[in-house]
Amino acid sequence: MSPSPIDVARARALTPGCERVLHFNNAGCGLMSQPVLETVLSHTQREALMGSYEAAAQQADALNAVYTSFGTLLNCKATELAFSDGATQAWHRAFHAVPLAKGDRVLTANNEYNSNWLSLRRRCDQVGASLEVVPSDADGLLDVKALTEMLDDRVKLVAITQIANSNGMVNPVEEVGDAVRGSKAIYLLDACQAVGQMPVDVERIDCDLLSGAGRKFLRGPRGTGFLYVRSSALERLEPAFIDIHAAQWTGRDTFTWRPDARRFEQSEFNVADRLGMGAAVDHALSWGLDAIETRILGLSTLLRQQLSELPGVEVRDQGTRPSGINTFTIDGQDLNALLLKLRAQGINTSVTNFDWAWLDLGGRGIDSIMRASLNYYNTEEEVERFVHAIANA
């Protein structure tokens, strides 16, 4: 059954920012919807009027409902979810819980997110593990055949990103899950750019760990993140951080971990933002992720077509499955200066520089790349306005 079309007028009416800016920076941070904004503001006011702990206690059921909403979004159990103060924190809590020792091997992809790569590199150096990059295929995707040939009993972790932030390509994450399953490796997936713009089903992907952000295509508050931990993988992991929320003090010198994924959380967090992240998930579910993806891909196809017709503009996307992240370069243009020029016109986009994607951009000889990332509340008219601005830059 095909997804119901998005009511774009209603989506924009529920997005106050649409009246002020042309927002093509959803891979950085999506515009919050009115329900999310109201949720955050109302709880912040509640804290001011009655006290933060008391306000949180009053919203206990609503906070628990956030886990249920995410369970629906990702097709997992609420007990397999933990929340954090951002996607990077969620990923790091997962990564540093994976046991690594001298002689172990860690596999990643050519388009891994820069913060992830730095942590992978540093920890492998610290423990004496080997960090290896799985080759890409002719389309720039992780080569699953090469991955399969690299897997052995020494591989303890396969860590990849679902959608590359520097080229918009969608890695074959389900095929990776098929390859890793049955090995001794933990499969950690960074789904930061995927969740919110397309269906993400952890059962189909068959990953052990999945991290993501509330602020991007989900359109939640900044400073929110989430982590999925497969129940069967829980006892293979050792969280690097612990507090009274994550574990119970059972004796003077003993403790026991929580029996669920919340052992990866901490007791202190921004309650208003977490409730806002839950409201963002509920808002996305109300539209339907299939419908959201269809809308985004339609707009992205139009944008790529129009950009490719401009002299001096080269679309730089890779892969065989498109996404809402569209990347391009312009001959003779300083893209960082152009970013500021567009912003002065009320047009938001972003630039990824070489040092943010060393393996990907360096391998393609690109110094910087402009990234226009669309969401379902964007319009065809905005695409035309954006392309006109690029043509006249």
User: For residue range 251-305, what is the model confidence (pLDDT) as tens digits?
Assistant: 999 999 999 999 999 999 999 999 999 999 999 999 999 999 999 999 999 999 9
Is residue 257 located within the same domain as residue 297? no
Same domain, 250 and 322: no
Q: Does residue 161 share a domain with residue 57?
A: yes
pLDDT at 339: 97
- Do 144 and 172 form a contact (C-beta atoms < 8 A)? yes
Among 113-127, 129-143, 300-314, 344-358, the least confident range: 344-358
Q: What is the CATH number of the domain that holds 130?
A: 3.40.640.10
> Residue 363: what pLDDT?
79
pLDDT at 2: 53
The confidence score (pLDDT) of residue 343 equals 97
Chain centroid offset of residue 378 CA: 20
Per-residue pLDDT at 188 exceeds 80? yes
Q: Which of 117, 167, 184, 178 is nearest to 145 (CA)?
A: 178
Cβ neighbours of 69 (radius 10 Å): 20
Q: Can you give the pLDDT at residue 353?
A: 87
Is residue 3 in some structural domain?
no
Could you tell me which of 213, 243, 199, 375 has the C-alpha nearest to residue 300?
375
For the cut 70, the answer to whether the pLDDT of residue 4 exceeds it is no
- Per-residue tokens: 150: 């690299």
Do 304 and 270 sit in the same domain of this protein? no
Mean pLDDT over all residues of the chain? 95
Structural domain of 21: 8-32+288-391
Identify the pLDDT of residue 366.
87
Per-residue pLDDT at 1: 42
Mean pLDDT for 358-378 is 90
Q: In what order do the strands lie in the sheet with 325-330?
A: 313-315, 325-330, 368-373, 350-353
Same domain flag for 131 and 203: yes
Percent residues over pLDDT 90 in the chain: 89
pTM here is 0.96
pLDDT at 319: 87
Instruction: Dump pLDDT digits (tens) for 239-257.
Output: 999 999 999 999 999 999 9
Give the Å distances, CA to CA, from 246 to 14, 24, 175, 243, 294. 37, 38, 33, 5, 39
19 and 82 housed in the same domain: no
Domain end among 246, 266, 286: 286
The model's pLDDT over 87-128, given as tens digits with 9 standing for 90+, comes to 999 999 999 999 999 999 999 999 888 889 999 999 999 999
Decide if 216 is inside a domain: yes
Phi, psi torsion values for 238, nearest 5 degrees? -130, 100
Per the structure, the count of domains in the chain is: 2
Are 127 and 198 found together in one domain?
Answer: yes
How many residues can be counted in the chain? 393
